Amino acid sequence: MVLPHSPFLFALAVGFLLSLQNARGQETGNAPALRPPNIILILVDDLGYGDLGCYGASKQATPNIDRLAAEGARLTDFYVSAPVCSPSRAAFLTGCYHKRIGVNHVFWPVSKTGLNPNEVTIAEILRARGYATRYFGKWHLGDQKVFLPTRQGFDHNLGIPYSHDMGSMVRVKKESGRLNPLHMRVVPVLRDEKVEELVKDVGPLMSVYEQELIEFIGASGEQPFFAMLAQHAVHLPNEPSKSYRGISQNGDYGDWLHELDDSVGRILAALEESGLDRQTLVLLTSDNGPAKKNNGTAAPLRGTKHTTWEGGVRVPFVARWPGTIPPGQVRREIVACMDLLPTLAAISGGSLSSVPGTIDGVNVAPLLLGTQLDAPPRQTFAYYQRTKLMAVRHGRWKLHLKAPDGRENVLFDLQADVAETTDLAADYPAVVRQLLDIAGPVRLDLGDGRKKGIGVRSLGHAAKLRPLFQATSHPSQEDE
């Protein structure tokens, strides 16, 4: 679970990757790309495991995302750190379980807490390597200036600071100076750290982000770039453009996902037109499983967002890098969102020396690049919900310490029973003991409930709350 910061081992990993990329460039008759690759990370909101065509979906078409899988790699066992948004996103960016860095809950508007600015993100590592960095879309790691993307390694930011269902403004009482939430049907769109506009419908922002990302690609020149595109789709409320409504067989959810897929297609086309296709790694995944009240599905997995059944934390993941990632790969090893930071650092030649402490990610670049491995990079995964350790996985076995249905020490063989239907604890007591033994050090390191782990770092705290904007109530804007 712990990644040692060894400069020697890291240098070996970088050398391996560059030599492999060089060899594959020669095999295809193309000059090897000696510069670090461009990286685009597309993070979909509340996308279910079974919502893409390449994962078995039939109610909406996703041909462009399916193309990423066909021309690259598709992971079957990719996990996020938590079954909800803010903790999961913190883990993506920092390479740590959310529990290690104190992000155990979703951040609300005008929150005094957020991702600690002392944590080092993927963007900071890549920027130190010479990358231009941009963030587009939903942030949700704190809306105070000290927590915004521009304070976490991104040169520029365009998007909203929290979920679009948190349409909240703030009114300041003159007599007390107190901040009082005022629920409104608008959210702020930030450009860098300033409010550019207030919007009621985030649907049109998909094309705005796409266009600015394409302009960013076109203007990149010789400088490598990292762009994180965190679209609002497909989080409730669903807000597809009018031209897409009714296009799928899955209501507004499927329509919005279809629109997102078309956007991905245009981004891929822009890479090809700019001649950067073979120099760009494109990743697409989700922050957690599908919401229970929406039309997404985690099939064939059990469960939804907010649960530690597989469907809450196992999500789609596809990666494409023409000429470097072999096409048509399906990898069944355990991979976690925390693995992106050390993996992208290795691929780019970046350094982990600035990371303030332990991280939980491992470098899975050889796996993505199609290397046959003697042993998987990651064999265990800990399932946390808020601060509680709910389950552990080792290899094919998953032990629910406390299952979402209330049962304790429930054992499943995920290779034979991915839907978690048959409890095998009575048949395999030795496996149960083995997994309980794995859970012990995890509890000691990361904590469990009120028991604080010895390896946990502090959440970020704003010195003073400053609302992004102030307002008074207007009947036309209040929720009906």
Q: Is there a catalytic annotation at residue 140?
A: yes
DSSP 209-265: HHHHHHHHHHT-TTS-EEEEEE--TTSSSP---GGGTTSSSSHHHHHHHHHHHHHHH
Centre a 10 Å sphere on the Cβ of residue 356 and count the other Cβ atoms it contains.
Answer: 12
CA distance 229 to 237: 19
Catalytic residue among 5, 98, 105, 140: 140
Structural element, H or E, at residue 412:
strand 408-413
- Find out whether 122 and 341 touch, Cβ atoms under 8 Å: yes
Contact 91, 97 (CB under 8 A): yes
Cβ atoms 359, 446 nearer than 8 A: no
Own/partner pairs for 295-299, CB < 8 Å, 24+ apart? 295/59, 295/250, 295/251, 295/252, 295/253, 295/254, 296/46, 296/47, 296/48, 296/51, 296/234, 296/253, 297/48, 297/49, 297/50, 297/51, 297/57, 298/48, 298/49, 298/50, 299/48, 299/49, 299/50, 299/56
**Listed residue (246, 158, 270, 278) closest to 206, CA to CA:** 158
User: Is 133 strand, coil or helix?
Assistant: strand
Kindly report whether the peptide bond that precedes residue 237 is cis, defined as omega within 30 degrees of 0. yes
Q: What DSSP string describes 76-130?
A: EEEE-S-SSHHHHHHHHHHSS-TTTTT--SPPPTT-SEES-TTSPPHHHHHHHTT
Asked whether 337 and 85 are in contact (CB, 8 A), the reply is no
Question: Is the peptide bond prior to 300 cis by the omega test (within 30 degrees of 0)?
Answer: yes
Q: Is position 85 annotated as part of the catalytic site?
A: yes
Contacts of 387 (CB under 8 A, 6+ apart): 99, 104, 447, 448, 449, 450
Active site residues: 85, 140
